[in-house]
Amino acid sequence: MKLNAEEKAMLAGEFGPVPQIAIRHQITVGDFFGAQDFVPVSQAHVMADTESLGEAGVRWLETLASEKVGRNRVCIPTITDPRGTDFTKASALRQAPWMLSLERRAIDSFVKLGVSMTNTCINYQTIQAPVRGEHLAFGDTGVVIYSNSVCGAKSNFEGGPSAIAAGLTGRTPRYGFHLDQYRRATLRIRVEWTPVTLNDWGALGAVVGKLAGNYWSVPILEGLTEAPGSDALKHFGASMASFGSIALFHILGLTPEARQLSDVGGDRLTVAHRIGEAEIRALQANYENNDEIDVVVFSAPQLSLYEMRELAGLCEGRRFNKPLLAVTSPQVKTDADRFGFTETIETAGGHVMSGMCFYQSYAREIAEANGWKRLATNSAKLVNILGGYGYSVNLASMERCVAAAETGRLK
Amino acid sequence: MTQGIAKVPERVPSRVFQARQAMGKTVIGEALVAQDNFSARYDLDRIAGIFSRPTHQLVGQSYVGKILIFDTAKGGVASAWMLHEMVSRGVAPVALVFNSVNPILVQGASFADLTMLAGFDEDITLSVPSGSMVEIDGRRGVLRILDRDCADREPKER
């Protein structure tokens, strides 16, 4: 990689060992992908729940944070993805003390490094939406795909160590979706049925993700003519990223880089797949595994204020017999409290949790501790993930999930 | 063809594959191959060291100490941390090989100091028999399928 004077100084250790560790890591990754140079980034978003970090990752963070020589604070706005707990609800989840201790140690280190603990995977809805052309170092696949596709910003999937490195150096290797040639469509899909509910949008994202299949695929979808709104595209993108590792999609006439097919090279592609209602229903049918359920979860991505509003409306006047968990961001939680949504959901017997995500919160251990096996959710991303954690998962609309928390049955 | 070669020399690799993308040191191990994908978060029981996702081709099999050869890496930013954590407990593969790889696994391999190759002229999942001993040279980007006899002897010589 071609380095400028500042980057050479970082690599030589002139800013201290922390930026040196960071830029060394970035150069290894940049060289692997043939990056020519670095690109400055305006924000970094760090995925770093302690289930992923483990003791080894937390120790690494502590080592960085305790360094006395040189610069050991981030130099651009650097924010965090959900934590592995909501400390106020940890007992309801039956999380073990060691989990909370690990979380506290990680948080202490992040704060010392100058990271802002936003604890959210919907920062594009709550903190600051990226703008077209903005270069970013974002973690969380759902955040990246939304920022790239809906906002027209430029980011690769940046895992926690790389996002921290970008926060410390203020740049990232210029490869992948920072380069225009990687943003052109590679797969043309015609959608012949417009999803209605959020879980339908998630299911469409899953079908597209499975068809597209890998990180370097860029699907362009035609046939969707009405803007579905932020929450629909949030579920759609998060699911596509989860099922297919996709980081960028275009929707003809809707997303900013694809006003016309030719803008992203879609005119050179023939329609490779057609997706109708039957394909979406078939995907959903894979996740109709139980008549009776143990727990209902709304999470992944965290709920927006509008989803919280809708959920509160559905919870009004009900009395739950099964646990219902609604997981949102700390920013939304404050407003949900003010607007009475939290109280409505919790009066019905549900739990509103914030700053965490269900699958990043020791999902396997809390399943065992609570006797949760059969789970219902409206998140296609969540059903994809939890299969690997031993759950029997069910994908249904928000309405059906709320009803199931009351009756114990998915009708 | 040259006439008169009576025996196959020792240590001749039976097949050699060149990767376009590579990092890490040289390692030898048993290949665990699947025409499937890989995510540390979605597919593994990282405590037991086995593939746990019910729909994964390798469900129930151990990945510890193996050279994993897959088509591609799936979503899950957490993998960037998880490889490092798995290595710290000694419950990790020794190298990862893909037809194509997403940045997360590359970042994770860099952070964990694992060897990784990607990008071949052929489908690498169809070219390497599962269970064969292979050598991965992360500097040169070379994967060698070792002769079984040679491979069996290799660890004892170290």
For the stretch A58-78, pLDDT in tens is: 999 999 999 999 999 999 999
> Are A80 and A118 a contacting pair, CB within 8 Å?
yes
Model pLDDT, residue B147: 64
Q: Where are the beta strands (DSSP E) in A287-406?
A: 295-303, 324-328, 351-354, 374-377, 392-395
- Mutation target for A interface from B50, B107, B111, B123: give the one with most A CBs within 10 A: B107
pLDDT band at A12 (very low <50, low <70, confident <90, very high): very high
Q: What is the DSSP string of B119-130?
A: --SS-HHHHS-T
Strand B142-145 versus strand B133-137 pairing type: antiparallel
User: What is the b/e burial string over A167-194, where b = at least 16 CB atoms within 10 angstroms of the residue's CB?
Assistant: bbbbbbbbbbbbeeebbbbbbbbbbebe
pLDDT 10s digits, A87-110: 999 999 999 999 999 999 999 999
Peptide bond connecting A301 to the previous residue in cis, omega within 30 degrees of 0: yes
Burial class for A50, CB neighbours closer than 10 Å (0-12, 13-18, 19+): buried
Model pLDDT, residue A390: 84
Side-chain half-sphere CA neighbours of B141 within 13 A: 14
If one counts every other C-beta atom within 10 angstroms of the C-beta of residue B101, the result is 27
Average pLDDT, chain A: 96
Please choose, from the candidates B56, B55, B61, the residue with its C-alpha nearest in 3D space to the C-alpha of residue B32: B61
Please say if the pLDDT value at position A325 is more than 60: yes
Helices (H) and strands (E) in chain A, counts: 17, 14
Please choose, from the candidates A83, A72, A58, the residue with its C-alpha nearest in 3D space to the C-alpha of residue A19: A72
Greatest CA separation for chain B = 56
In the numeric block, which tokens belong to residue A110?
Answer: 């992040």
> Are B100 and B118 a contacting pair, CB within 8 Å?
yes
End-to-end Cα separation, chain A, in angstroms: 58
Alpha carbons A298 and A382: distance in angstroms, whole number: 9
B83 touches chain A (CB under 8 A): no
Cβ pair B80:A243 closer than 8 A: no
Alpha carbons A399 and A295: distance in angstroms, whole number: 15
Alpha carbons B131 and B69: distance in angstroms, whole number: 11
Cβ pair B41:A387 closer than 8 A: no
B107 touches chain A (CB under 8 A): yes
Alpha carbons B104 and A11: distance in angstroms, whole number: 22
User: Rg (Cα) of chain B, in Å, rounded?
Assistant: 16
B82 touches chain A (CB under 8 A): yes
Read off the pTM: 0.92
Cβ pair B74:A245 closer than 8 A: yes
Cβ pair A53:B89 closer than 8 A: no
Q: Is the dihedral of CA B102, B103, B104, B106 positive or negative?
A: positive
> Are A296 and A324 a contacting pair, CB within 8 Å?
yes
- Count chain A–chain B contacts defined by CB atoms under 8 A: 138
Model pLDDT, residue B151: 46
Please say if the pLDDT value at position A171 is more than 80: yes
Model pLDDT, residue A58: 97
Alpha carbons A184 and A186: distance in angstroms, whole number: 6
> Are A392 and A373 a contacting pair, CB within 8 Å?
yes
CA-CA distances (angstroms) from residue A182 to A176, A216, A218, A240? Answer: 6, 7, 8, 18
Model pLDDT, residue B36: 85
Instruction: Give the residue-averaged pLDDT of A264-275.
Output: 98
> Are B73 and B39 a contacting pair, CB within 8 Å?
yes
Please say if the pLDDT value at position A318 is more than 70: yes
Please tell me the distance in Å from B130's CA to the nearest CA on chain A: 23
In the numeric block, which tokens belong to residue A183?
Answer: 């943003």
Please choose, from the candidates B105, B112, B95, B135, the residue with its C-alpha nearest in 3D space to the C-alpha of residue B43: B105
Model pLDDT, residue B157: 33
Model pLDDT, residue B10: 53
Please choose, from the candidates B87, B108, B76, B102, the residue with its C-alpha nearest in 3D space to the C-alpha of residue A165: B108
Instruction: Assign residue A318 a region (left: φ > 0; alpha: ψ between -120 and 50; beta: otherwise).
Output: beta
Please tell me the distance in Å from A156's CA to the nearest CA on chain B: 7
Bridge-partner residues for B67, per DSSP? B31, B95
Alpha carbons A380 and B145: distance in angstroms, whole number: 40
Q: Tell me which chain A residues have a C-beta less than 8 angstroms from the C-beta of B23.
A: 28, 31-32
Alpha carbons A113 and A78: distance in angstroms, whole number: 10
Cβ pair A388:B88 closer than 8 A: no
Alpha carbons A237 and A243: distance in angstroms, whole number: 10
Instruction: Give the residue-averaged pLDDT of A226-249.
Output: 95
Residues of chain B with pLDDT under 50: 1-6, 8-9, 150-158
Alpha carbons A331 and A230: distance in angstroms, whole number: 17
> Are B40 and B82 a contacting pair, CB within 8 Å?
yes
Angle at A385 between CA A116 and CA A104, to 5 degrees: 30
Model pLDDT, residue B79: 84
Strand A324-328 versus strand A295-303 pairing type: parallel
Model pLDDT, residue A204: 98
Angle at B76 between CA B70 and CA B82, to 5 degrees: 85
Q: Rounded to 10 degrees, what is the CA torsion of A376, A382, A388, A389?
A: -60
Instruction: Give the residue-averaged pLDDT of A218-236.
Output: 96
- Mutation target for B interface from A52, A242, A246: give the one with most B CBs within 10 A: A52
- Mutation target for B interface from A31, A32, A138: give the one with most B CBs within 10 A: A32
Cβ pair A33:B53 closer than 8 A: no
* Minimum mean pLDDT range among A186-200, A230-244, B134-148: B134-148
Q: Tell me which chain B residues have a C-beta less than 8 angstroms from the C-beta of A49.
A: 78
Angle at A129 between CA A124 and CA A130, to 5 degrees: 115
